[in-house]
Amino acid sequence: MQAFNPYLPSWEYIPDGEPYIFGDRVYVYGSHDKFNAKLFCVKDYVCWSAPLSDLSDWTCSGVIYRKNQDPMNRLGLRILFAPDVAKGPDGRYYLYYAYDFLGVIGVAVCDRPDGEYTFCGHVHYPDGTVWGRKKGDEFPFDPGVLVDDDGRVWLYSGFETHVPAIMSRFRGHKSSGGVVLELEQDMVTVRSGPKLLFPLKTNHAPEDFKGHEFFEASSIRKIDVRYVFVYSSTNNHELCYAVSDRPDGEYRFGGTLVDQGDLYLHGNTDEQHAANYLGNTHGGMVELNGDWYIFYHRQTNQHSYSRQACAERLVRTPDGGFKQAEVTSCGLNGGPLAGRGNYSAGIACNLWSREGTARYDRKFEKKLHPYITQSGRDGDRHSVQYVANMRDGSVAGFKYFSFDAEKEIRVSACGRGTGTVEVSVAPDFKVLSAGIHVELSGGRKSFTGTLSVPDGTWPLYFRYRGSGHMDFYGFEIL
């Protein structure tokens, strides 16, 4: 079986994914979006996992923690933001979470990595005061947890915002940047800290972080003998990393790990001409079968409230760091996809209109842009994901495929209009691999043409040229 991006079923929406290996499986813990929702993270936490022997075979264990299990949220009115999980010194599994902007971090515990977690407390000082409730406390947000080799427990947190409605809730709090606390062996009591590690852009961030200063999404790993801190930068649509020889200080900027639109990868920094539409992202790193991967999320449905889990393989640098990964359709597949078979348009990793791209957290003219969406309601396992609203000049790109001969290609589409679907292995379409005439009158139809692609590994880009609009459901390489 092949693995794709997104790696979970197309009807599932898990952003903020933190991957961990427990036993012979990789588990992903994230928040839980709803398709076509109006807010982030409106559903309860679930856990997905896959055997290390088959990273295409993901299974859901069901709900592991509900919004109303915490005594501070008995009515379930607050929503669960990005979590993290760590195996404690006692062998049990601890789930750390923050309710939207409540300003505390809760902890739940379970005997199994994917079992039903029970509330066990809020992170608090030795005198019992909840962290975040003292005047002058740093604002608790986006927990990242590490139980070190020596058993010491480290909790990372922090974020930046300039939204007045959120800032007004900070009464008595500070938001200086990314901080670290050491916890006692009970996993909930503060032993020391918080200590500022990653000052904000507005708070004298170190020069080596310039242009990629800390914003949110703390995630921590120990790789070899060094500590690697993953975070979302002020650019919001990229995950960066910093490295130190100690868990609680002296971090140096490492670089960008992944950007949703491949910005910074080849010197392009133009958000209106990225390789994909942009929004927030959050994730963590894990080593799977000898390769390191960065887990992140993408946006769908022209907003930031229906996000999906993706992953990309990372390449190490000679000094032990990581090169920036390119966003792809094959993610966890371990290599290119087969140059034969059926593929959903929902696995498009590149998408833009004739006018370029946009950020989903800012105003843009939605009717001009293509977007990924689904045919059914939230949770409908029979729904079909597709690229909607491809107008003249719109492009959907898929990376990568392994080709060994010329073939035919069949595209599945509906909509209203007449035109041509151009296919190329290059985003500028200077050389066409296929040109398929389409006539769209409402119902879903298939159209076939000859595909001419050199032997080897290549992307495929599909561009609609014509009148009206096309909803692109998928393609078959014959």
**Catalytic machinery residues:** 16, 216
Residue 165: its H or E element: helix 164-167
What are the residues facing 48 on neighbouring strands? 28, 60
Structure tokens of 358? 């946009």
Cβ-based neighbour number of residue 224 at 10 Å = 7
DSSP 276: S
The gap from C-alpha 1 to its chain's centroid, in whole angstroms, comes to 23
DSSP annotation string for 366-422: GGGS-EEEESS-TT-TT--EEEEEE-TT-EEEEEEEEE-S-EEEEEEEEEEEEEEEE
388 contact partners, CB below 8 Å, separation of at least 6 = 370, 371, 372, 373, 471, 472
Contact in structure between 402 and 34 (CB atoms under 8 Å): no
Location of structure tokens 């029970």: 118
DSSP 43: S
CA angle 285, 289, 290 (to 5 degrees): 75
Contact in structure between 327 and 350 (CB atoms under 8 Å): yes
Contact in structure between 218 and 178 (CB atoms under 8 Å): yes
CA angle 369, 371, 377 (to 5 degrees): 135
Structure tokens of 401? 């495929």
Cβ-based neighbour number of residue 408 at 10 Å = 12
Helices (runs of H) and strands (runs of E) counted in the chain: 1, 30
Closest CA to 101 of 187, 192, 171: 171
Residue 51: its H or E element: strand 45-51
CA angle 192, 197, 202 (to 5 degrees): 130
Q: Hey, what amino acid is at 305?
A: Y
d(CA 367, CA 371) in angstroms, rounded, equals 10
What backbone torsions phi and psi does residue 159 show, to the nearest 5 degrees?
-170, 170
DSSP 316: B
Contact in structure between 47 and 58 (CB atoms under 8 Å): no
